[in-house]
Structure 1
Amino acid sequence: MRLKTILLTAAAGIGLGLILTGAARAQTQRATEPVIPTPAQTPPQGAPACPVSSDSLVLAGDGLRRSKAAVAQNRLNILAIGSSSIEGVGASRADLGFVPLLQTDLRARMPEVAVNVWNRGIGGETAHETVNRLQAEIERFQPDLVIWQIGTNDILRARPWNDLAADLQRGEAILSAAGVDVLLVDPQRLPENGVNFRGKNVELGEAARMIALEGNRVGYAVQRRFDAMQGWGRLSRGGIGPDDLHMNDEGYACWAAITAEGLAAALG
């Protein structure tokens, strides 16, 4: 299926069943199996195109061995963890956030594979807080692949890079012990003309560069989301909502589509 078709289908509204959203900390102990979505309605005409470049997809190297083995057995379990963009803050509906759209997009690209994507995003978290619960989440969901979105809140809260790097390496130890594959997703790009976080893209871009270097060093798959978003000029506000921080529906749809396309290609 072509990328534009996937984006249009995602943006039209998808009848997704139960996906664990992590919308409130009080719900973090519940683990609900996602269900197969119902077919989407006819997409609207004139929806924006989602650009694809080598930077926008998944740079996997040899870092997805367990996931490839799972796909060979017609299954794939993914744990998506991080902060608000994993949780889906900013989407107009829960089913238009990144995780439910990614699950739908992957199932469309790999119809013979039973794909489940669990949402364990908690808005506002830094890497330190995410790592503190990482082992418990892995034990609960037993994923083949962990998608770890990292870095945005750390930079916006002016955490030193050394602190972020220490948390990243602490997480690496947990992930290595669990034997799971990892896809690191770096910070998002924010509107250059925004009011609330003007000038932060320089720091976010540097963090993205360092996260990619560390991911490559340890053999993780990496998605350079920050670089990819530079080509999102045709999306409303570059894919970012009116608060200058959280993704809007178009941003989530585009991010899910390029992630699904990259993963499907990497997993064969």
Structure 2
Amino acid sequence: MLRSAATYPEVMRRELSRLRSNATIEVINSGRVGDTIPNNVARFGRDVFAHTPDLVIWQLGTNDVAWGGRPDHGLKRSVLEGVRALKAESADVVLMDLQYAPQVLASVGYSTMEDIIIDVAKQERVGLFSRFALMRNSVSAGVAQSALVTWDGLHNTADGYDCIGRALARAISTSAR
């Protein structure tokens, strides 16, 4: 198990604080291990809206496909419902797509889930951070997948989280200009 200081939300917070030294940056990680999109949406009131966030980064879809789920129109409706609920609370939204990991790549529905996330981001005009493309491009450039993904074939290593956290912070900082 990684220390919280090594997870992408904490890396992102540190990098944003470095990039935006005059800003007050607070990151609340409301993610839950093993959670799915419907469960995320069900927890928004308690775990997200209660904090009145300015920005919500919704990491979604990996668990929905990694454990044999098959994305369908019902799941797309759940993503739309979730994004609309976040926007109704006046939060800016960034959708973070799937992990590029062996367990995801072995799933039947990962490309459909990717399409759902991309479509919803476009339709609802919210940000999209493609962790999938970032990791795929890193592996294509010669980074060993084992440097980014742990032994379980799903979760990121500390280096994988560091890469994602820094890239996400830079994307947020650039967008905020």
Counterpart for residue 255 of structure 1: 164
CA deviations 1:224-244 (Å, max 9, x no partner) are 111111122225515100010
TM-score, normalised by the number of residues in structure 1: 0.61
Task: List alignment gaps of at least 5 residues for structure 1.
Answer: 1-89
Counterpart for residue 81 of structure 2: 170
> What is the Cα deviation at residue 213 of structure 1?
1.6
Q: 1:199 aligns with which of 96, 99, 106?
A: 106
Question: What is the aligned length?
Answer: 173
What pairs up with 1:225-264 in 2 under 5 angstroms?
Answer: 225-233=131-139, 234-235=143-144, 237-264=146-173
> What is the Cα deviation at residue 198 of structure 1?
6.0
Secondary structure of 1:121's match?
coil
What pairs up with 1:1-268 in 2 under 5 angstroms?
Answer: 90-91=1-2, 93-157=3-67, 158-191=69-102, 199-200=106-107, 203-233=109-139, 234-235=143-144, 237-268=146-177
Higher helix share: 2
Q: 1:203 & 1:226 partners in 2: Cα distance?
A: 14
Q: 2:47 & 2:91 partners in 1: Cα distance?
A: 12
Secondary structure of 1:147's match?
strand
The answer to whether the 8 Å contact 1:147/1:184 transfers is yes
Q: 1:206 & 1:225 partners in 2: Cα distance?
A: 16
Higher strand share: 1
Rg larger in 1 or in 2? 1
The answer to whether the 8 Å contact 2:71/2:109 transfers is no
The answer to whether the 8 Å contact 1:106/1:264 transfers is yes
1:225/1:264 Cα in 2 relative to 1: closer, same or farther (>3 Å)? same
The answer to whether the 8 Å contact 2:62/2:104 transfers is no
TM-score, normalised by the number of residues in structure 2: 0.90
Q: 2:144 & 2:54 partners in 1: Cα distance?
A: 32
Task: List alignment gaps of at least 5 residues for structure 2.
Answer: none
Q: 1:184 & 1:262 partners in 2: Cα distance?
A: 12
